[in-house]
Structure 1
Amino acid sequence: MKRNHRFALPLPSPRRLACAVPLVFAAAAAHATTDWVDTHTKAFLTGPQLMARSAVPSLELADGEITDIVVTLNLRNAGQLRQLAHDVNQPGNAHYRQYLTPEQFLDSYAPTEAQVKSVVDYLRKNGFVNVQVAPNRLLVSARGTAGTAKTAFNTSLVHYQDASRSGFVNASKAQVPRALGAAVGSVLGLQNVARARPMLRIGNVAKPQALAAGTATGHYPKEFPGLYNATGVPAAAGVTVGIITMGGVSQTLKDLEQFTSSNGYGTVTTQTVETNGTGTPGSYNDDQKDLVGEWNLDSQSIVGSAGGQVGKLIFYMADLNAAGNTGLTQAFNRAVSDNVAKVINVSLGWCETDADKDGTIDAEEPIFTVAAAQGQTFSVSSGDEGVYECNNRGFPNGTNYTVPWPAASPHVLAIGGTTLYTTSTGAFSNETVWNDGLDPAGKLWATGGGVSTILPAPVWQSGSNRRLPDVSFDAAPSTGAYIYEHGQLQLEGGTSLAAPIFTGLWARLLAANGTSLGFPAGRLYRAIPSNPSLVRYDVVLGNNGYQGSGYKANTGWDYATGFGSLSITNLNELIRSGGF
């Protein structure tokens, strides 16, 4: 049976092509002799799109150009695993808090060793080297070339360029021989033009502004526990927290040391994990231009929100040079297969339709499902482009609303952003939807929120499709966090601040109640409507669009800020009473 997948057929020797259309025709001819089935990796761009968007004619990559790929394997008993992920987090269920162990996953849900061997043998037969299998058998990574990828997956890689990005993309669906069809889910690494980016917004250090809504000013991370009513909950000593990064964190570790020293905190135990597999070269240098500030914001905001203590911070580092978002998939999977960190921060995201095209959603949604079944919580930024995530990264486009991945996963918590106002004495006052409007280039900066066009709604949400965010915390650069970067304080915001605030606060709740709290989304959606005191502030002012577009905040849950922010001490009391 032919499956809905995404790639094309191998062509003869490399050659110049005037456009992408001949690739499709050549692929069709090869079907006469080979029985291929589609994977879940679609043609990243169709032939007409390539012609319309490329400034120069598309050229097929030379056969010898190096490319690293990741083949994702399908779960066994996928429906049962999804049910288990629900049951172990459902109070009153017979399986409540009987979390899946990695050993149980291998026994009942992982691809079989025979399936893995068939994929490994196929890759090696087609010329791939450095073939590595993830410990949970969900991913098989390998190094090859454009030529080996074309032969193995029946698609050609072509150069791509438009006004904002350049690289290569696959010209047709990725396919595998029918004998591998039941095992293989998708093939990652066949495009490198669409990549996740940090949800970070740099602010300008300024004097506090007394506005009608309250005082707008920056905050030191140690202030967030007081602002979100968490000081009645112990610090997160003993709790291991994961942070997903792209590239290295050597400068971040130096800045974290300055942060803890300056605030009178003890030294934080840290660990760095390279996640692209052993034996395969990867890049784990610091990206000084964009990413150091992101990892600083994550780590310092987590530690400050956690009360100055965590058991350990583990930085799961994605290969900075991996094609597309292949490195992130490996980093997510390593955090889940390790099953050490029970809360994991992700201040990254990208267009969910791009993630669907290249097979990433098919690859990563099973990983997040396993995490929920194991009692792990991914805290994920909901985006900084308002309702226009896929519209040229935040440039308004009427009512064509879109959301980011992985925040759209029904097995993560999507964390939106607010503007946090305080009283003249620095106490919490209120919050509004974070929306800074358009920058000089015409890009919207506002909290992400809306409806997924791809992911179904979880049982704890109404409607047919996943809605986000779930909850929200401070994100506005004007009221954001003072973060140490290269020895200097920098004011930073974005939902890249909101997510680590929640991560640090949730770590406190784990410390107070044991690491068996599990994935809390369903319980939050049940508890908050009947326990209004769980909400620190129900955001009712603002929207996440532009000139009448977007979603407005309302009483209760809304597409702009979810339920709003949480009162951590009140939530802790409900947990301890057995009502959560």
Structure 2
Amino acid sequence: MIILGLVLSACSNSGNTAATTGTTKANTAPQAGGITPTPGAQKTPIANPPPGAKKGSGGTPLPANEIKPLTFNLAYNDAAIERDMAQMYTPGSATYHQFLTSDQFVQRYALSDTQLQQVKSWLTSQGYTVDAVDGLRSSIQARAKVSTIEKSLNIKLKAYTLLNRTFFMQEGEPTLPASIRGYVHSVVGLDNFALPEFKPPVGFQEQTQQANSANCKGYGAKQTLTAKKLAAAYQLDKLYAQGFQGQGMSVGIAEFSEPFSASDLANYAACAGIAVPKVETVEIDGKVKSGPGEGEAAMDVELVAALAPKANILVYQANADNTSFAQAMVDLLNRVATDHRVQVLSISYGTAESSFSESEMAAVNRSLRTLASEGISVFISSGDCGAYTLRVRQPQVAEVAFPASAPYAISVGGTHLQVNDSNVRTSETVWGEDDGTPVCQNQWGTGGGVSQNPDFKRPSWQTGKGTTTHYDGTSQAVFTATLPPAPVTAPNGLRQVPDVAAAAYPNIAIYYNGSWYASGGTSAAAPIWAAGAVLVNQALQQNGKSPIGGVPTFYTLANQAKNYHPYTDITVGNNLFYPATPGWDYSTGWGAPNFNDITQLALSE
């Protein structure tokens, strides 16, 4: 168990702004009917520590005067949301794909003015500074001294050390007074154990003659995938021919303390033959330092700009240095839902489920549910360490990445796509590479498998050919990241990932920090899907149809395909444990997109 405790923590490693702060105060929100708290209805505690952090040593109290930001996630009428969502995503229902506006969401499910004021009044009476209430009444952002937090929640905040890394987390289970307990779903920010993993894998680097100039020698060199090759492989060129390039549409991109260089983007655009996109940055939880970043933001923005060349791009930039990763994620998702300015959102970040607490995962999934109710598609990369998101192979512990494993995420796996110089797809297999190294550096291949979070039940819509294929890790000594560990089994009654896939092998041409790179990862697959989905939505909108929306739609497309082929089924390769199979599988989901077929199928409904 001690070894497993260390393994559970081994995975945690550690742009330009034209920003709008956009904080919506509570008194500007529409009237809500309020909720009736149900005693004992909440399954998870207000906050609990991540299982991967439990072997930390130290327990040194944090300075009493240190200021910590927290996000108090507010209760909703969850039963009503789930009931309405089921109808919203059931073909043939009277409310099928009748997505909600922000005002409708508040009016149907949120706290009333009086209930909201009770929570705010309690916070201020305890010594918190209330910074913002988002327009959907999903959360209150507040800050206070450590001593205030400890006294008001009846906990202690302490620093711990594990594998030479220092982090803080709570000691004890938080409590709230009965007067507001039914109005607060969870508190996020009481630990900072989970860290985003986003270093894209790299195939090769080609230096340019003159950095930051329109030197296109390296674009498409050594058979790397250009925008034209990706567009041809995934039928985007067919949508372009119909006039759909993203005009009037908006794509959101989530970044966490990861800037990008405007000159890198300009150089890429010149070589890809597109106009330099106008990118708006929306700041979350503070300003992020400028610079070229680690290459993730550059790849995200370049791929969206190249594949949806006339779409608006909004980079939601969260400062994960000021808050915990989980808190930054909740704050970002809530901001996107409140703004309701984008039709799709791409997220290329995550880490092992065991790095998050159950309460943190529940909070993020609730925010994703809100976005799905608004018809916003959220594509999240499934990870780059194959079936082993914990990043180690000895012992072999299979674990999926979060937030991709959230039931309301659209989890995107990765393929090895090859396209010839005539822009014809010659092959597409699972992205999976066992380089024999003991620790993954984001190069083992597409993430996928089964959740181990008992609250993430397998959704009713996760059905179809391949979704019941059985796997047992006993013979290969592959275990779960649970205490005690047990051989991994799939299906296990819980959420299965990924849902879909796209090119991820590091052979995609990206311009970063003055050089051309062959890059990729599921960090590339997510923005590829986001760019394609926004063109699908443009076509649907032009024909008076609703957007494709959240993850259940992608199973409907597969199971009611008629004479169309919405996906290219990937049947060759594996992610170091789960093989590709006909139909859905644990390495590439339903497969790679055929965006024109998806469009025609959606229009035929």
TM range, smaller chain: 0.7 to 0.9
Shift of 1:151: 0.8
* C-alpha separation in 1, matches of 2:200 and 2:504: 9
Distance of aligned partners of 1:456 and 1:216 in 2 relative to their CA distance in 1, 3 Å threshold: farther
- Aligned residue among 251, 262, 266 for 1:257: 266
User: Does residue 538 of structure 1 match 2:574?
Assistant: no
**1:307-318 equivalence runs, <5 A:** 308-310=309-311, 312-318=312-318
Distance of aligned partners of 1:571 and 1:247 in 2 relative to their CA distance in 1, 3 Å threshold: same
* C-alpha separation in 1, matches of 2:429 and 2:75: 42
Q: Hey, what does 1:528 align to over in structure 2?
A: 558
Q: Hey, what does 1:431 align to over in structure 2?
A: 428
- Aligned residue among 298, 315, 322 for 1:296: 298
* C-alpha separation in 2, matches of 1:288 and 1:114: 46
Give per-residue Cα distances to partners, 1:16-35, cap 9 Å, x unaligned: xxxxxxxxxxxxxxxxxxxx
Give per-residue Cα distances to partners, 1:382-421, cap 9 Å, x unaligned: 11121222x3xx1125563211111112222111001112
* C-alpha separation in 1, matches of 2:505 and 2:137: 41
Shift of 1:351: 2.1
Distance of aligned partners of 1:44 and 1:564 in 2 relative to their CA distance in 1, 3 Å threshold: closer
Q: Hey, what does 1:336 align to over in structure 2?
A: 337
**1:196-215 equivalence runs, <5 A:** 196-198=196-198, 200-205=200-205
* C-alpha separation in 2, matches of 1:465 and 1:414: 14
Q: Hey, what does 2:346 align to over in structure 1?
A: 345
* C-alpha separation in 2, matches of 1:38 and 1:488: 47
**Counterpart code for 2:331:** Q
Q: Hey, what does 1:168 align to over in structure 2?
A: 168
Q: Hey, what does 2:62 align to over in structure 1?
A: 61
* C-alpha separation in 2, matches of 1:520 and 1:124: 37
* C-alpha separation in 2, matches of 1:349 and 1:296: 18
Q: Hey, what does 1:14 align to over in structure 2?
A: none
* C-alpha separation in 1, matches of 2:168 and 2:553: 43
Aligned to 2:314, the other structure's residue is in SS state strand
Give per-residue Cα distances to partners, 1:52-83, cap 9 Å, x unaligned: 542xx32111211221111111112x122123
Distance of aligned partners of 1:287 and 1:175 in 2 relative to their CA distance in 1, 3 Å threshold: farther
Aligned to 1:238, the other structure's residue is in SS state coil
Aligned to 1:386, the other structure's residue is in SS state coil
Matched length: 509
Q: Hey, what does 1:369 align to over in structure 2?
A: 369
Aligned to 1:417, the other structure's residue is in SS state strand
* C-alpha separation in 1, matches of 2:528 and 2:520: 11
* C-alpha separation in 1, matches of 2:158 and 2:83: 41
Shift of 1:439: 6.5
Aligned to 2:536, the other structure's residue is in SS state helix
Give per-residue Cα distances to partners, 1:163-182, cap 9 Å, x unaligned: 15212111222222232211
- Aligned residue among 275, 289, 307 for 1:285: 289
Distance of aligned partners of 1:518 and 1:567 in 2 relative to their CA distance in 1, 3 Å threshold: closer
Distance of aligned partners of 1:173 and 1:86 in 2 relative to their CA distance in 1, 3 Å threshold: same
Distance of aligned partners of 1:385 and 1:335 in 2 relative to their CA distance in 1, 3 Å threshold: same
Give per-residue Cα distances to partners, 1:424-456, cap 9 Å, x unaligned: 645201211111224745326221101112211
**1:564-579 equivalence runs, <5 A:** 564-576=591-603, 578-579=604-605
* C-alpha separation in 2, matches of 1:467 and 1:397: 24
Question: Residues 70 and 190 of structure 2 are in contact (CA less than 8 Å); yes or no, is this contact kept in structure 1?
Answer: yes
Q: Hey, what does 1:458 align to over in structure 2?
A: 459
Shift of 1:45: 6.0
**Counterpart code for 1:117:** Q
Give per-residue Cα distances to partners, 1:369-390, cap 9 Å, x unaligned: 111111110011011121222x
Q: Hey, what does 1:149 align to over in structure 2?
A: 149
Q: Hey, what does 1:468 align to over in structure 2?
A: 497
* C-alpha separation in 2, matches of 1:53 and 1:386: 26
**Counterpart code for 1:408:** S
Question: Residues 274 and 318 of structure 1 are in contact (CA less than 8 Å); yes or no, is this contact kept in structure 2?
Answer: yes
* C-alpha separation in 1, matches of 2:514 and 2:362: 41
Distance of aligned partners of 1:417 and 1:62 in 2 relative to their CA distance in 1, 3 Å threshold: same
- Aligned residue among 229, 232, 245 for 1:223: 229
Shift of 1:227: 1.5
Shift of 1:346: 0.6
* C-alpha separation in 2, matches of 1:131 and 1:235: 39
Question: Residues 216 and 420 of structure 1 are in contact (CA less than 8 Å); yes or no, is this contact kept in structure 2?
Answer: no
Question: Residues 226 and 272 of structure 2 are in contact (CA less than 8 Å); yes or no, is this contact kept in structure 1?
Answer: no
Q: Hey, what does 2:417 align to over in structure 1?
A: 420
Question: Residues 99 and 373 of structure 2 are in contact (CA less than 8 Å); yes or no, is this contact kept in structure 1?
Answer: yes
* C-alpha separation in 2, matches of 1:541 and 1:105: 43
Q: Hey, what does 1:499 align to over in structure 2?
A: 526
Q: Hey, what does 2:8 align to over in structure 1?
A: none
Aligned to 1:436, the other structure's residue is in SS state coil
Gaps in structure 1 of 5+ consecutive residues = 1-36, 207-214, 277-281
* C-alpha separation in 1, matches of 2:583 and 2:51: 40
* C-alpha separation in 2, matches of 1:88 and 1:560: 28
Distance of aligned partners of 1:165 and 1:289 in 2 relative to their CA distance in 1, 3 Å threshold: farther
Question: Residues 349 and 381 of structure 2 are in contact (CA less than 8 Å); yes or no, is this contact kept in structure 1?
Answer: yes
Shift of 1:136: 1.2
**Counterpart code for 1:296:** A
Question: Residues 199 and 383 of structure 1 are in contact (CA less than 8 Å); yes or no, is this contact kept in structure 2?
Answer: no
**Counterpart code for 2:289:** N
* C-alpha separation in 1, matches of 2:416 and 2:258: 31
Q: Mean alpha-carbon deviation: is it higher for 119-128 or for 149-158?
A: 119-128
Q: Mean alpha-carbon deviation: is it higher for 565-574 or for 257-266?
A: 257-266
User: Does residue 554 of structure 1 match 2:581?
Assistant: yes
Give per-residue Cα distances to partners, 1:309-354, cap 9 Å, x unaligned: 21x1111111232332211211111001111101001111122233
**Counterpart code for 1:131:** D
Q: Hey, what does 1:382 align to over in structure 2?
A: 382
Question: Residues 415 and 472 of structure 1 are in contact (CA less than 8 Å); yes or no, is this contact kept in structure 2?
Answer: yes
Question: Residues 251 and 313 of structure 2 are in contact (CA less than 8 Å); yes or no, is this contact kept in structure 1?
Answer: yes
Identity %: 26
* C-alpha separation in 2, matches of 1:166 and 1:134: 32
* C-alpha separation in 2, matches of 1:367 and 1:512: 27
Shift of 1:520: 5.1
* C-alpha separation in 2, matches of 1:83 and 1:486: 48
Question: Residues 374 and 518 of structure 1 are in contact (CA less than 8 Å); yes or no, is this contact kept in structure 2?
Answer: no
Give per-residue Cα distances to partners, 1:445-499, cap 9 Å, x unaligned: 221101112211222114632111111111011x2x2112233222211100000
Question: Residues 387 and 402 of structure 1 are in contact (CA less than 8 Å); yes or no, is this contact kept in structure 2?
Answer: yes
* C-alpha separation in 2, matches of 1:268 and 1:146: 43
What is the RMSD computed on CA atoms of the aligned residues?
2.5
Question: Residues 433 and 575 of structure 2 are in contact (CA less than 8 Å); yes or no, is this contact kept in structure 1?
Answer: no
